[in-house]
Structures are given as C-alpha cells and as structure tokens.
A and B are shown apart, each in its own frame.
Chain A
C-alpha cells in the first residue's frame, strides 16, 4: 500500500512536470477564439481543432528562413568548436611543448569570467569589421570554448601512449594519430559535448540579438521574441505557440537519438570534476 502511494506521488509529480508540454501542444491546435476559452483542447468537438496556426506561421512570418538560419549557425558552430577543441585538447593531453603551462593558466583564468563583460567591446569590434548582421560574428567567437578543450584534454589523457607509439612506428602522421586513434577512443564524450554545445547554440539569445538586426537573418529565439513583442492583435497566441513548439522539437529529437551518451557524459563530468 505504501509503495502504491509512493509511486502515485512520483508519477503525479512527473505529470505536473510534463504538463507545460501537453499544454503547449494543445495550444498550437486551438483557434484564436478557443485559445483561452479551453484550458487544453475542446476535446468533444474535434471539428474545432485546427492547423491554421501552422499555416499562418509559415505564410505571414519568415519562419522557415529562421529555422534554416538556426540549423546553419548551430551546425557550423558545433562542427568547428568540436574540431578545434579536440585538436587542442589532444595536443595539451599528449604532448609537451613550450608555453603549455602559461597557455593553460591563461585559459583557466578566462574560464571564470562571464562572457557578458565582453559584449560591448565585441560589438564595437564587429562594427569595425563590418560583421553586424553576419553569421561569422556568431560562429567564430563561438568556436572558442575553453570548457570544451578541458573536457577533451581530460578524456584524451586516457588514450594509451603505447597505442600512439605503435601508430608512429607504423608510419602514421601526428594528425592521423588524432583522427584515427584518439578521436575514436573518446567517442562517447564527443557525443555528449556535441549535443550540449548544439543545445546551447540553438537556444542562445543575447549575442545574436545584438548582432542580427535584419529580420531575414534572425535565428529562432530572436525571431520568436520579436514576434512576441509585436502588439497583441498582430501575433495570435496560437501562432506564437506553434513557432515555439517547432523550435523546441529539433533539440528534443536530437536528445532522443543521443540520450545515452548525453546523460553518461553529463554525469561523468561532474563526478570527476
């Protein structure tokens, strides 16, 4: 009996935690008049359910463009940051070279500094470079991840030196050692970091909000926020919710594909750190 109530309590909590999702999905299928009239959906009147919000979203807003922009920026940034961080992490874990210590110290110092302090000076720099409204202003600074390098450095310390040595004897270049020996060994970490980084980029708002000023160039968070701040009568709530649902969906799908790596990676990072 006690175990029954224990589970009842747990599952009710889980249900509460999932309710906003259910509400969001329902909200996208309600017409303007039904939006607040029904808490979830007019269940017994399926005739009132509608796809008009989705149609409106794609016809009256450059939503498809925002989606493509978001996919492009997030993918480009993720590929670059994973490549650069794993290369630098490999070098720091497996080689001795000059200035290595000083480099590590400088990197560590910047890790505790919140990036917001650089926003004004970065904006001035992008202004000088003529990169306002350009994705380079988002992708290139985003390719610098001290956190990512430390993650890869820790993971690649576990690559056995004997294996690298054997590769050298067989005539592998140092670059191929990274690509063919080190990377496959840290594969689970790559999965976790890729997802984590993609999510952060997909959702990032503050810096793109400063850089992207042309509506056609917006990414999803910027586009939706601006949709929301239009006067009430211009953006029907159902349309805004449809846009929100479509913005969340890609991350959720990606998470389902990679969830094993992700949760393992998340947890191992904390337990070791």
Chain B
C-alpha cells in the first residue's frame, strides 16, 4: 500500500524533480543577476560597499562620452565588414566543395574548418606574432606578393589598421565554420530541381540564383543572426591582440571592452551595468529586425 503510494508520487512529481536543479541555478545565476544589474545601472559604485543612487545619469553620460561612441562605431564597423566578407566566402567555399567530382573533400573540409577549433584567445596570441612588422609571417607574405607594400606594415600600432587586423583573424577563425553549415544545406537541395532547371535551359548562374539560393535561405538567416550577435560581443581578439588595451588611439576598442575597462579596471559596477544594458538593447533590436525579415520572407 505504502509502496504503491510512493510509486504514484514519484511518477507524479518526476517532472518537477527533473527541472528543479536547473530552476534553482537558473534563478540564482541568471534571473537574479539580470534584475540586479538593471538596478545597479542606476547607481554609481566606487566599491561594493559605497553605492550612490544617480538615476539615469550613467546612461546620460554614455550618450555624451566620446570613448563609448568610438567603441560603438568600431563594433558596428567590425560587424558590417566581417559579415559582408564571411558569408560570401563561406558560401563560395561550400559551393566549390559541393561539386560532383571533387577529390579529397574530407581533407579540404577539415582544412578549412580546423581553425574554428582554436579559441579566440589563442588565435589572438598566434596573430600577434604573425602580424609583427618585418619579421611576421603575414608581413613577409605581403612583401613577397606585393613588393610595393613591403613588410613594414604596423598592424597593431596604426589606428586605421586595427580593425582590419581583427577582421583578418576573425575570418580565419570562422569562414570554415560557415562553410560547414552551407555544405549541409547544399546537400539538402533537391537534385531533381537542378535537372529540371537544366532541361528548361537555365544556365549555371540562373540555376544558382533560382534553385540553390532559395534552398539556402534558412541557413543564411541563421548564420547572419548568430554572426551578428557574436560580432557585437567581440572582446577577446582585440583585447589580447592589443595587449589588454583599447588599441592604437582607442581604434581597437569595442562595446564589451569598454564595459570591461569601466567595470573591472575603473571599478564602477554601476556604470558598467549601464553599458551592458545598451548592448542588450542593440542586440535585441538586431534580433527583432531579423525576425521581422523572417516573417516578411515567409510571405513571398
């Protein structure tokens, strides 16, 4: 009798039991810090013990701070340049590898993807050596192919070259990663559609535009959304590459780097939280725009 009752209890409360450890951690380490950071963003915090309520002053200051404006512009610049290079390059590689008779496809796929296994920090360390003027591998290669540029390019010391250096490292890190997604999607496109298009006399380009591209749309959207969100959180690459500074004349600074410097170098947790909420706002706006695009795309 008691056994039966216990048995009934365990089956009835099983789902609550299964989700409870997650809910406990989720509340303590996600919901609470989120709410706390919203409150914190209204305070000036010199140390954990001395906090002063300042209302929206943190946000007001942010709007006027030129260093923050620079970080925002840098981040947007990176996101736009990086995405408009990564997506076409990944797609081109995937299409090239998806040909009917390509030898060594497994090797090629691994060769392009392998860089994604290297963490951001390690990529930054490797690139900091390869970008060295005169002796670095990249400058030597540039000097060999374009003798008029030479080998003296100061990638990490010239303000205007700061973001291009970061874009270069990011591309090495993620073109192969995008390629894997496109390859999977290409394999899902119906072969018969190509044959039908060929019968109708569609050329190579027409087939790509009207058969391949529509089949790739979901993956394309996914990669753009994930890529943009990641781009706006850019931190490790510039932070390590520029030796834990904001880069030459601040041209390597990003929103998250600004947050880090304010929160953990200057030590104002309140102000840093306000920076964080501006980042939240930007990312939510981008996601909303994407979702609207998704809906508009479904209609046609």
Tell me if B261 is interfacial: C-beta within 8 Å of chain A.
no
Chain B residue numbers with a CB within 8 Å of A174 are: 10-11, 14, 18
Q: A122-B29, A124-B269, A255-B117 in contact; A87/B263 too (CB < 8 A)?
A: no
Chain A residue numbers with a CB within 8 Å of B26 are: 107, 144, 146
CB distance from B211 to the nearest CB of A (A): 17
Q: A116-B276, A221-B119 in contact; A17/B112 too (CB < 8 A)?
A: yes
CB distance from B87 to the nearest CB of A (A): 14
Cβ contact within 8 Å between B29 and A144: yes
In residues 73-102 of chain B, which contact A (Cβ within 8 Å)? 93, 96-97, 99, 101-102
Q: Which of A44-52, A55-63, A185-193, A202-210 contacts B (4 or more CB under 8 A)?
A: A202-210
Bound-state Cα–Cα, A225 to B15, Å: 44
Chain A residue numbers with a CB within 8 Å of B154 are: none
Cβ contact within 8 Å between A21 and B129: no
Tell me if A71 is interfacial: C-beta within 8 Å of chain B.
no
Q: A14-B107, A97-B16, A203-B121 in contact; A20/B276 too (CB < 8 A)?
A: no
Chain A residue numbers with a CB within 8 Å of B243 are: 228-229
Bound-state Cα–Cα, A175 to B11, Å: 9
Tell me if B259 is interfacial: C-beta within 8 Å of chain A.
yes
CB distance from B97 to the nearest CB of A (A): 7
In residues 1-38 of chain B, which contact A (Cβ within 8 Å)? 10-11, 14-19, 21-23, 25-26, 29-34, 36-37
Tell me if A181 is interfacial: C-beta within 8 Å of chain B.
no
Cβ contact within 8 Å between B122 and A247: yes
Chain B residue numbers with a CB within 8 Å of A155 are: none
Q: A11-B104, A91-B15, A121-B40 in contact; A270/B112 too (CB < 8 A)?
A: no
Chain B residue numbers with a CB within 8 Å of A240 are: 125, 129
In residues 99-154 of chain B, which contact A (Cβ within 8 Å)? 99, 101-104, 107-108, 111-115, 117-122, 125-130, 132, 135, 137, 140
Bound-state Cα–Cα, A246 to B125, Å: 13
Q: A122-B29, A168-B11 in contact; A144/B22 too (CB < 8 A)?
A: yes
Tell me if B251 is interfacial: C-beta within 8 Å of chain A.
no
Chain A residue numbers with a CB within 8 Å of B180 are: 263, 266-267
Q: Which of A124, A125, A140 has the most CB of B within 10 A?
A: A124
Cβ contact within 8 Å between A121 and B277: no
Cβ contact within 8 Å between A273 and B222: yes
Cβ contact within 8 Å between B218 and A271: yes
Which of chain A's residues has its CB closest to B270's CB?
A120
Cβ contact within 8 Å between B36 and A116: no
Interface 1/0 per residue, A80-104 and B, CB below 8 Å: 0000110110111001110000010
In residues 152-171 of chain B, which contact A (Cβ within 8 Å)? none
Cβ contact within 8 Å between B34 and A118: yes
Cβ contact within 8 Å between B119 and A118: no
Cβ contact within 8 Å between B287 and A112: yes
Please count the residue pairs between chain A and chain B whose beta carbons lie under 8 angstroms apart in the complex.
249
CB < 8 Å neighbour of A221 from B121, B277, B283: B121
Tell me if A66 is interfacial: C-beta within 8 Å of chain B.
no
Tell me if B249 is interfacial: C-beta within 8 Å of chain A.
no
CB < 8 Å neighbour of A10 from B108, B118, B259, B269: B108
Q: Which secondary structure dominates where chain A touches chain B?
A: helix
Cβ contact within 8 Å between A224 and B125: yes
Q: A121-B40, A203-B121 in contact; A114/B15 too (CB < 8 A)?
A: no
Chain A residue numbers with a CB within 8 Å of B121 are: 203, 205, 221, 224-225
Q: A251-B117, A271-B219 in contact; A128/B48 too (CB < 8 A)?
A: yes
Chain B residue numbers with a CB within 8 Å of A141 are: 25, 29-30
Q: Which of B61-69, B199-207, B232-240 contacts A (4 or more CB under 8 A)?
A: B232-240
In residues 148-189 of chain A, which contact B (Cβ within 8 Å)? 149, 168, 173-175, 178
Tell me if B272 is interfacial: C-beta within 8 Å of chain A.
yes
Q: A117-B276, A120-B40 in contact; A87/B222 too (CB < 8 A)?
A: no
Bound-state Cα–Cα, A240 to B240, Å: 13
CB distance from B115 to the nearest CB of A (A): 6
Which of chain A's residues has its CB closest to B23's CB?
A103
Bound-state Cα–Cα, A235 to B257, Å: 25
CB distance from A258 to the nearest CB of B (A): 12
In residues 9-23 of chain A, which contact B (Cβ within 8 Å)? 10-11, 13-15, 17-21, 23
Query: Mind listing 6 A-B residue pairs with CB under 8 Å?
Result: A23-B130, A87-B18, A112-B283, A116-B259, A228-B128, A266-B180
Instruction: Kindly list 8 other residue pairs between chains A and B, CB separation below 8 angstroms, not including A114-B276, A114-B283, A120-B45.
Output: A6-B96, A39-B140, A92-B19, A114-B279, A123-B263, A123-B264, A205-B240, A248-B117
Closest 9 CB pairs of A and B: A203-B119, A117-B276, A267-B184, A174-B14, A36-B135, A14-B111, A91-B18, A120-B269, A95-B15
Using a CB–CB cutoff of 8 Å, the interface residues on chain B facing chain A are: 10-11, 14-19, 21-23, 25-26, 29-34, 36-37, 40, 45, 48, 93, 96-97, 99, 101-104, 107-108, 111-115, 117-122, 125-130, 132, 135, 137, 140, 172, 176, 180-181, 183-185, 188, 218-219, 222-223, 229, 232-233, 235-236, 240, 243-244, 256, 259-260, 263-264, 269-270, 272-273, 276-277, 279-280, 283-284, 287
